[in-house]
């Protein structure tokens, strides 16, 4: 099984001209032509008022923007979103507020954005979960109703175990799983979430059976792993790197074509002889139908925010594989992931709501 994602060339964002057209000359009163000048001045004012109306209406943004995260606070998507919005607010000169709307493996939050007014003031973030949910949940959003704006990062999945399990390699993991079907208790998110998909795909590809225990997002999954409620987990690398460093857990393998810079000592599955690559991503989107100039404003600001040195430094310190891209790249990534993940979901018997 091999799931790869490649970003398309970044679309060149359009720059909105914010030049104020409301300029006028001075007028002298108190002359013999006072009456005519008054009439002229009144007419000019009326014309200027008419001309100014569209400019005021087009001022965007002039109120706070809300970004919906479809997972609880403290998880991967939440952490990335808060990092981006901090810098986005500087670019847009307005408040950008993050709100968490968890539930249904991310479907609730995505649907809230889908149903919002397409005015650019309500955005969201999504990943692979949105693609999966569209085939698993009858109430999930059809991706055609969303407007991708920018890609933030692309993260490979990983497989990790607690050190006290005695499993010290991926081969030992497979041996344990084959000898005791269902004996490995794995922590993951709800059906359709990325770590659930990673666990299900590992089961399908390696022909093993795990006991998958669902949690509402990455943060509670990590807590369950630390407390010993579960033996293993299938989260992305950034959520596990610190625990790996402290030797609380051991990351057995990374589902990428190259090793992750945060844990360079951990081999990829490809290095171990298995063609298994599985990546998640975080992108910003809005409801379909946002007016073109507002979309361009948002895209330009998002790209500028992600170009800031402070954003880059903090993202790397957090272990994120940043992959900034504009709307064109986001559309292509969503399309390619849909093409790649659907047959894998079919093989894992996860397509239950609709077929392509």
Would the pLDDT of 43 be above 50? no
pLDDT over 90, % of the chain: 76
Over residues 127-153, mean pLDDT: 94
DSSP reduced 3-state for 325: strand
DSSP string for residues in 250-306: EEEEEESSS--TTSTTSPBTTTTT---B-EEEEEEEEETT--HHHHHHHHHHHHHHH
DSSP string for residues in 40-58: HHHHHHHHHHHHHHHHHHT
DSSP reduced 3-state for 107: helix
Over residues 32-53, mean pLDDT: 39
pLDDT over 70, % of the chain: 84
Contacts of 181 (CB under 8 A, 6+ apart): 208, 209
Contacts of 302 (CB under 8 A, 6+ apart): 84, 88, 91, 149, 150, 284, 326
Residues 14-39: pLDDT tens digits? Answer: 333 333 333 333 322 233 333 433 34
Q: How far is Cα of residue 302 from the mean position of the Cα atoms in its chain? A: 13
Judging by DSSP bridges, how do beta strands 146-162 and 322-325 pair with one another?
Answer: antiparallel
Would the pLDDT of 218 be above 50? yes
Query: What's the Cα-to-Cα distance from 31 to each of 42, 43, 196, 270, rounded to whole Å?
Result: 16, 18, 81, 88
DSSP string for residues in 306-317: HHSHHHHHHHHH
pLDDT of amino acid 24? 32
Residues 274-330: pLDDT tens digits? Answer: 999 999 999 999 999 999 999 999 999 999 999 999 999 999 999 999 999 999 999
pLDDT of amino acid 3? 52
Q: How confident is the model at residue 45 (pLDDT cuts 50, 70, 90)?
A: very low
How many CB atoms lie under 10 A from the CB of residue 346?
Answer: 13
Mean pLDDT of the chain: 86
Would the pLDDT of 88 be above 60? yes
Tally of residues, the chain: 356
Q: How confident is the model at residue 217 (pLDDT cuts 50, 70, 90)?
A: confident
Would the pLDDT of 44 be above 60? no
Over residues 238-244, mean pLDDT: 97
Catalogue all structural domains in the chain, each as residue range(s) with its CATH number.
Answer: 65-154+281-347 (3.40.190.150), 156-255 (3.40.190.10)
Over residues 331-352, mean pLDDT: 92
Residues 262-275: pLDDT tens digits? Answer: 999 999 999 999 99
Contacts of 44 (CB under 8 A, 6+ apart): 24, 27
């Amino acid at each position: 099984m091999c799931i790869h994602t490649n970003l398309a060339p970044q679309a060149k964002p359009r720059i909105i001209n914010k030049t104020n057209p409301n300029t006028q000359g001075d007028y002298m009163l108190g002359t013999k032509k006072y009456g005519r000048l008054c009439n002229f001045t009144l007419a000019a004012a009326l014309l200027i008022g008419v001309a100014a109306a569209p400019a005021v209406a087009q001022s965007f943004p002039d109120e706070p923007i809300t970004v919906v995260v479809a997972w609880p606070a403290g998880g991967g998507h939440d952490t990335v979103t808060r990092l981006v919005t901090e810098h986005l607010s500087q670019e847009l000169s307005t408040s950008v507020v993050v709100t968490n709307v968890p539930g249904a493996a991310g479907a609730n939050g995505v649907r809230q954005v889908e149903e919002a007014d397409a005015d650019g003031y309500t955005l969201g973030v999504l990943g692979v979960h949105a693609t999966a949910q569209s085939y698993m949940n009858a109430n999930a959003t059809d991706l055609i109703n969303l407007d991708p704006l920018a890609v933030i990062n692309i993260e490979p999945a990983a497989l990790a175990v607690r050190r006290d399990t005695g499993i010290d390699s991926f081969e030992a993991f497979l041996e344990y799983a084959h000898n005791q079907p269902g004996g490995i208790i794995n922590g993951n998110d709800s059906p359709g979430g990325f770590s659930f998909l990673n666990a299900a795909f590992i089961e399908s590809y390696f022909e093993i059976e795990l006991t998958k225990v669902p949690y509402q997002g990455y943060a509670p999954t990590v807590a369950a792993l630390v407390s010993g409620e579960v033996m293993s987990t299938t989260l992305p690398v950034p959520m596990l790197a610190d625990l790996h460093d402290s030797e609380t857990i051991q990351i057995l393998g990374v589902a990428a074509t190259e090793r992750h810079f945060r844990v360079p000592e951990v081999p990829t599955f490809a290095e171990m002889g298995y063609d298994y690559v599985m990546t998640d991503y975080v992108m910003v989107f809005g409801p379909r139908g946002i007016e073109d100039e507002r979309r361009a404003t948002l895209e330009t600001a998002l790209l500028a925010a992600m170009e800031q040195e402070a954003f880059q430094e903090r993202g790397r310190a957090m272990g994120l594989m940043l992959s900034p891209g504009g709307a064109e790249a986001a559309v292509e990534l969503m399309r390619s992931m849909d093409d790649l993940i659907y047959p894998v979901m079919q093989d894992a018997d996860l397509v239950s709501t609709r077929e392509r």
